Structure 1
Amino acid sequence: MASKLKSGVESIGSYLIRGIEELGGMATMLFEAIVWAFRPPYRARIMFQALESVGVGSLFIVLLTGMFAGLVLSYQSDYAFRIFNAQTLVGATVAVSLLRELGPVFTGLMVAGRTGSSMTTELGTMRVTEQIDAMAVMAVNPVQYLVMPRVVATMLMMPVLNMLFNFVGIGASYALSVLYMETDPGIYVQHITRFVTVQDFYYSSIKAAAFGLIIGLVGCYKGFYASGGAKGVGQATTSSVVTSSIAILLVDYFLTTMMWSL
């Protein structure tokens, strides 16, 4: 019994220490990326490629998720509000829910699964095949060349993808409410403009940018320090998606409490 308890405590302690070490490593990598972002050479082509990979590559899954999120949320809201004869509030409920919470979080989870995993796989393959070591030998800083463009691109594209997610979700909700649930289109739009404020768009974009930083940093870090061949790259990719998803949910909670307590 005592040996099992000791083993359990050691496992928990080892997990916590490893987590703290990774957190410190990510902070160091972020600092290096910030420093190298303002130092020449400035590789615009690589930056545009990273922007295209994050934005265009994730566009379809983000829009598809946004559409069905809006449809489901609209249907469930109408079902609940019908009990109180308050179906006119469906539009405002969907818009506020998407902008404040579901839009940034769902977009972050989709981008983490699609783009974050891709970053980890790509950099992990380069690490285990010693391409990153070769870059360092040729006096090319790997953080500036590989990490910085991906982190910056994810931070810049996440707010754009988030807004597209929200607009598609609200549009799908509008179509379902007006065409299927026979909601008056004027009242639908009127309640949205009444309850949605500029602050909602502002806070939604801040959340999306923060989630983009998490996705880019975690994805690059896990791949940059992958080891153990093909199996190690696969494990790093899985760890990247799981870590990013958990971090997004945690950061979303703290950002929400901070923003709406102001």
Structure 2
Amino acid sequence: MAQVTRATSSPSHLRIVRKNFSDTIASSLRTFGRSVDIARESTVGAVTDIARREFQWREAILQSWRLVTVTALPAILIAVPFGVIVSVQVGNLIHNLGADSLLGATGGLGVIKQGAPLATGFLLGGAGASAIAADLGARTIREEIDALNTMGISPIHRLVIPRLAAMMIVAPLLNILIVFVGIVSGYAVAVGGQHVTPGSYWATFGSFTTVTDVWVSVIKALIFGYLVVVIACQRGLEAKGGPRGVADAVNAAVVLSVVCIAIVNLGVTQITEMFIPTRLV
């Protein structure tokens, strides 16, 4: 009797696991599809609103200021230790190789090509995504989104597009800020702690770093900001279940943003290294 029970329960457990797995995959694909719809509608809507002179510049500027207030100071606090760590770790390796003069090039390239875009993306994915998801999620559970739809007002045009524009404004500025602070802090450590001459630091930095590297860094920050705002808006607009639902939307927005940024950064880095390799002379 016990053998019959075990024989019948094992396939049942397998069916449950298989069903849960398939349901999770299907739900993830549907969520991805809704995110793509929001991205497409908001991008096309932003262009049409600008062309029709219906773009909400005031709301976009207000959202930009809100993003700046929650990300500017953390960006500086992240950039300083990041520049110091890169300078110390890379400086020790270069010192063992007897190439101290190359510290400016390696430290600067590390901050510009990888450190600043990733720090910008993670910061926007943490502070920015949580702020956007919390705002839209609170509006959703208060039924403000349903009220807008009832009045014939598109939530995408009224709420999502200004936040998308704000993120596209703040992301490159935040990236440049992190680049500047990171390079300056790395320079201070290299000159003050590792006895690198200022002239050789800036000479090698200028020899190996190009304007293209800066543009690639800015474009990566724009891509990361775009992903963050789409994910945050999608989770916020679909929040349900009261305050607990808002908290779940915020957590999901932050986690998904960080994961997507890490995956996309890997792909973008591979593509840029294939077509725009680092200059060696």
Describe the superposition over 1:105-137 as per-residue Cα deviations: whole angstroms up to 9, x where unpaired. 111001110011110011001001101111222
Provide the residue aligned with 2:234 in structure 1: 221
Describe the superposition over 1:198-232 as per-residue Cα deviations: whole angstroms up to 9, x where unpaired. 11011111111000100110011100111111111
- Cα distance, 1:138 vs. partner? 2.6
Letter in 1 for 2:12: S
| Structure 1 counterpart of 2:213, from 191, 200, 220 | 200
SS of residue paired to 1:261:
helix
Report the aligned-residue RMSD.
1.4
Residues in 2 aligned to 1:157 and 1:242: alpha-carbon distance in whole angstroms: 21
| Pair 1:138 & 2:147 matched | no
Letter in 1 for 2:36: A
Contact 1:156/1:212 (CA < 8 Å) preserved in 2?
Answer: no
Letter in 1 for 2:28: G
Letter in 2 for 1:105: L
Provide the residue aligned with 2:43 in structure 1: 34
- Cα distance, 1:260 vs. partner? 1.6
- Cα distance, 1:240 vs. partner? 0.4
Residues in 2 aligned to 1:210 and 1:14: alpha-carbon distance in whole angstroms: 30
Provide the residue aligned with 2:266 in structure 1: 253
Contact 1:159/1:208 (CA < 8 Å) preserved in 2?
Answer: yes
SS of residue paired to 1:192:
helix
Residues in 1 aligned to 2:231 and 2:172: alpha-carbon distance in whole angstroms: 18
Residues in 2 aligned to 1:123 and 1:155: alpha-carbon distance in whole angstroms: 18
- Cα distance, 1:51 vs. partner? 1.5
- Cα distance, 1:9 vs. partner? 2.6
Deviates most, 220-229 or 50-59: 50-59
Contact 2:187/2:201 (CA < 8 Å) preserved in 1?
Answer: yes
Describe the superposition over 1:180-212 as per-residue Cα deviations: whole angstroms up to 9, x where unpaired. 221100000011011111110111111110001
Alignment of 1:1-262 (within 5 A): 1-37=10-46, 38-39=48-49, 41-262=54-275
Larger Rg over CA atoms = 2
- Cα distance, 1:177 vs. partner? 1.0
Contact 2:130/2:254 (CA < 8 Å) preserved in 1?
Answer: yes
Q: TM-score, structure 2 length as denominator?
A: 0.89
Identity of aligned residues (%): 28
Residues in 1 aligned to 2:106 and 2:12: alpha-carbon distance in whole angstroms: 54
Describe the superposition over 1:15-70 as per-residue Cα deviations: whole angstroms up to 9, x where unpaired. 21111111110111122212322235322210111111223431111111111100
Describe the superposition over 1:60-103 as per-residue Cα deviations: whole angstroms up to 9, x where unpaired. 11111111100111111122222222222222111111111121
Residues in 2 aligned to 1:240 and 1:257: alpha-carbon distance in whole angstroms: 26
Runs of 4+ in 1 over 4 A off after TM superposition: none
Letter in 2 for 1:117: S
Contact 1:152/1:213 (CA < 8 Å) preserved in 2?
Answer: no
Residues in 2 aligned to 1:251 and 1:104: alpha-carbon distance in whole angstroms: 11
Q: TM-score, structure 1 length as denominator?
A: 0.95
SS of residue paired to 2:274:
coil
- Cα distance, 1:5 vs. partner? 3.2
- Cα distance, 1:156 vs. partner? 2.5
Instruction: Give the paired residue count.
Output: 262
Deviates most, 126-135 or 136-145: 136-145
Deviates most, 49-58 or 68-77: 49-58
